[in-house]
Amino acid sequence: MQMISELSRNHSIFLCSRLAEIFAIVTSSRCHASIKSFNSVTGLVTTRTRDALMHNDDRSSADDFMRSYRFEANTAFNMILTNPKIDIYINNFLKLWAIMGYYVNANPDWRRYYCATVVAPITSNRNASTITTDTVIGFVCVDSQRGGFPTRYSKAVLSVFVVLINDMMVKLGEIEAT
């Protein structure tokens, strides 16, 4: 079991690193990717894996501030889980939205790390109306200091990664349950 868990973690880091590299090419700026789990019983979101790119070494310190937090404390997670019309969250102007009161984040230092984000739920459901707290097991997040996340392309790329990550997380959960 320990070996499967370690292989899964290494695979997750690999996927996050490739995702950050893909979006760095698309946005012409350094990007960061992470996988977060979601507990539907407690409503807590927890960072599980981050990319292993050298320019993102300082990002793990964000996890030191808070291990887990309620999904309502982050606009992206809250909108995906509560708005039946949203299946992905993309915002290239987070700092402006925060000033206007439209974006909240549990981490008071988030502005140090990024000003734009794209977030997709980890679920086997594709229709926005079926993406709920009961069907989501986590989130894939990509962010940057520059922005430039194109909606259509971002959704297409993240959808591929979500399928891979969802299958891996479901299988790992099945193994851990035995």
pLDDT in tens, 149-163: 999 999 999 999 999
What is 2-177's CATH superfamily? GAF domain (3.30.450.40)
Compute the distance between CA of residue 168 and CA of residue 178 in angstroms, rounded to an integer: 16
pTM: 0.90
Query: Using CB atoms within 10 A of its CB, is residue 29 exposed (0-12), middle (13-18) or buried (19+)?
Result: middle
pLDDT in tens, 67-109: 899 999 999 999 999 999 999 999 999 999 999 999 999 999 8
Tell me the domain boundaries of the chain: 2-177
The beta strands (E) that lie in 29-168 are given as: 31-39, 44-50, 68-70, 89-91, 116-122, 138-144
> For residue 81, which phi and psi values (nearest 5 degrees)?
-80, -20
Name residues whose C-beta falls within 8 Å of residue 86's C-beta, 6 or more positions apart in sequence: 79, 80, 128, 131
Place of tokens 């039946």: 84
